[in-house]
Structure 1
Amino acid sequence: MINLLILSNMGPSTNKPQSGLFVHNQFKELRDSHHEAFATEYFYLDQEEKAGLAKLFRYPLFFVRFLWRYIFAIKTQNIIHVHFYFPTIILAAAYKWFRNPKVKILVTYHGSDIYKYMPPNAIYRLLSKCVDEHIFVSENLKQQFFTPIEGYVLSAGVSSCYYEQQTDVKHKSVDIMFVGRLDENKGSERLISLIKSTPKLRFLVVGQGEYFDELAGHQFNNVTLIANASPEQLKHYYHQSKFLLNLSMNESFGLVITEAMACGVPTIATETDGGKLQIKSGVNGFLLPNNEQWLATNLANFIEEKLTLLNDGIDDKTDFYIDYQTLSSNARASAEPYKLANVVEELVRLYRSII
């Protein structure tokens, strides 16, 4: 039996139930499908909003809890799989130094743990020497690492619940769906500007963040705003939507893009590391320049043109309606390699190879 600990600083909380959900899903799949070979545990820092001293001591308390539960424990971990490298790697390194020097440490880099630390400080660089295997969610993200490295490219995986029969576009009531944290990096200002410019389009926005109140305050008549949604609810919303919109400035791998594709929903996205990996423009979606001037000038016209062609062609089965059906089928096929079960099988092979 291999003792495996999954360690993350992005866990769910009451007010952010979707935070780090993909890591939790990996844990459940590993626990349920490989329980005979792996004794899998999951230790995480929840994203509950805190203030004052609770906020100040959030990470120190996380470390103390880890120290008590694992470093002082009788049970020995054989593998620690860290999600979101820094500063979570400090806990795994402490375990290696003070509890079990033979433990194997794997790290999955998700994007923000690289983008936010460029250029990396000395501690960031030093702790990377404790890592036995590096996993990146995209090849482009791997190229962003501070030093050339041999590593694996493997996404976090998407729940099988999204891989179901596609919905015919004539039954879809939402023009544009946006899913993600409503912050600057996810392109919230770009989204609000687009909504203002396209009052005839129907938007569905799912997410929380610092722009939530601003978006709600506008009281747009053409926007349905939802703070949280379960996977089953998200699946329903995807099937009601003609396009998913992703306007991120930086995105290593868009899990929501893959979720939407699995539901047969093409994505319109800016050119990020993840976007360029997942989307073949004109084949399973559309890629747009990640440029403020271009977006300000062309985004609204581009989307309105595509939706006008689609909506006008539904009854007459015009060329773009047929093209959309092809986009939808290609999107679903593109999502197949990212099924959670497939990703977990790759992880299991990797775990076994390092023991």
Structure 2
Amino acid sequence: MSESTDSSRTPSPRSKSPSPSRVQAKVVIPDDHSMLSLLGSSDELLRVIEGAFRADIHVRGNEITITGSPEESSVVVRLFEELTELVSGGAELTTDAVERSIAMLRMTSERPAEVLSLDIISSRGRTIRPKTVNQKRYVDAIDKHTIVFGIGPAGTGKTYLAMAKAVRALQEKKVNRIILTRPAVEAGERLGFLPGTLYEKIDPYLRPLYDALHDMLDPDSIPRLMAAGTIEVAPLAYMRGRTLNDAFIILDEAQNTSPEQMKMFLTRLGFNSKIVVTGDVTQVDLPGGTQSGLRVVQEILEGISDIHFSRLTSSDVVRHKLVSDIVDAYGRYDEALRQSAPQAIKGGAGKRSRERQ
């Protein structure tokens, strides 16, 4: 599919200054593949690729010629091969998919065609799949382990992918029910102080989970599944005292649990069940002085067999590009605050007490 030659013998039409340090490589796209799908409308995707590499890229018919350093040319060739495989598998390429493919080839050993073509579920004309290497590793971990913690900033798909895996497990009859829960910390779990019925009181805290369900299931089937107990959405406090068998259980916003609540939840695990715990330890809404159960549990359970911690970062954010920049900016700000905070002097309190005596 590809070949390389010395550019001093066969210069690319767009080559600026051929030299022994530049090589020319050629990729031939199969005749049955649409170049429009590969390069984008008005060559939109091609321009993304050209902007990402210090190489000359020339397209003529179904032949793509790349001229640049051996390293750059090699990555561009691999990129077009991966994108061609994605297109042949029915994927619709976008600028985001191309940019993520470039990042994978440069920073990891993972193949974009394997990461971006891993379908979890297809519903209502759209397919849910991981978009980054860490997301794929997170999804794979859910398959392999009984308890998985998905820890990372907002927008990294922690809850959404876990719910997609839960829906698929239900569809494949691997479990009999899905249980989705969140701590209602904004109300201090004292829901009696809020106006309205019980449903109206807890609805604002659980609404994001309902929204995700509507993306993955026929909306008309959700009330029926909930009435039958096949899908349950409830505050974390309602898990106490239960044993959950044959279930896929997701605890969302786990950074807002206390250590006691986290222990209570994890010990609900029954036979033939799977637990996924998701949260962002940088967004704790607990009252001052209260430890986050998600922070503590990492120290307690790390290394235990069949429990896995998946950690996602700002590079896994799949919302607007600014979200990743915002996450990084807050991370730098928090780190600067920690470094500038005055350090307690060991034994200082005792010295002051003696001086007062």
TM-score, normalised to structure 2, is: 0.27
- The structure with more radius of gyration: 2
TM-score, normalised to structure 1, is: 0.27
